[in-house]
Chains A and B, each alone.
Chain A
Amino acid sequence: KNEVEQSPQNLTAQEGEFITINCSYSVGISALHWLQQHPGGGIVSLFMLSSGKKKHGRLIATINIQEKHSSLHITASHPRDSAVYICAVSGSGGSNYKLTFGKGTLLTVNP
């Protein structure tokens, strides 16, 4: 079992819909990252958070440390949001230089 589990694996939505992607982890962490990988292959860091909630434009990320769970929300989804969204965690202590990744969620937003 992977230390970082994401759901769903695949998600298809209509333009304008509210999207939620979930991430659960089983180890102690110092931070959680949400990354976006477009079909062209490039990877972009969307958020890094260790508590609470962060918002950037139409994207919102939340984390519940006690429940070891994070969610990424996209409001008013658009076809350009179509990408793979990857959750990753930094370990604690000496492992905080190491990112452990989930398997990603493939999001397709149809016009």
Chain B
Amino acid sequence: DTAVSQTPKYLVTQMGNDKSIKCEQNLGHDTMYWYKQDSKKFLKIMFSYNNKELIINETVPNRFSPKSPDKAHLNLHINSLELGDSAVYFCASSFTANQPQHFGDGTRLSIL
């Protein structure tokens, strides 16, 4: 029933580890996004994909690698985690650009 689902909801790990966050949408949307919300609650786009193609890469470090195996999935893999990566990561989707976006519940990543 969930429109945009992210897993896991919470992720606690140590500096230097590699982790992945999965995102799936069942809305039939063509476009998917990853956003980062920092400790001051400020949202910033990281990536957007349209029909599995990367459209926006907003100067995100190479340690972050999105993967879109199909239109319904956009996963985020992070290598060599750093303290500054601690944040809430939101996945979202829309039919295309300039359409209302549907957000997942967020994944709270904490780096020890």
Chain A residues within CB distance 8 Å of chain B: 30-31, 33, 37, 41-45, 48, 50, 84, 86, 88, 90, 95-101, 103-104
Contacts and interface: CB of A to CB of B under 8 A. Distances in A.
Given A31-B98, A97-B55, A98-B48, A42 B41 contact: no
A43 B50 CA distance: 21
26 contacts: A33-B100, A33-B101, A41-B105, A41-B106, A42-B103, A42-B105, A43-B92, A43-B106, A45-B101, A45-B102, A86-B43, A88-B43, A90-B97, A96-B97, A96-B98, A97-B31, A97-B55, A97-B56, A98-B56, A99-B43, A99-B45, A100-B45, A101-B42, A101-B43, A101-B44, A103-B41
A26 to B, nearest CB: 17
B39 interface: no
Nearest to B31: A97
Interface residues of B, number: 26
A43 B97 CA distance: 18
A100 B45 CA distance: 7
Nearest to A86: B43
The secondary-structure label for the interface of chain B is strand
B88 interface: yes
Contacts of A31: 98
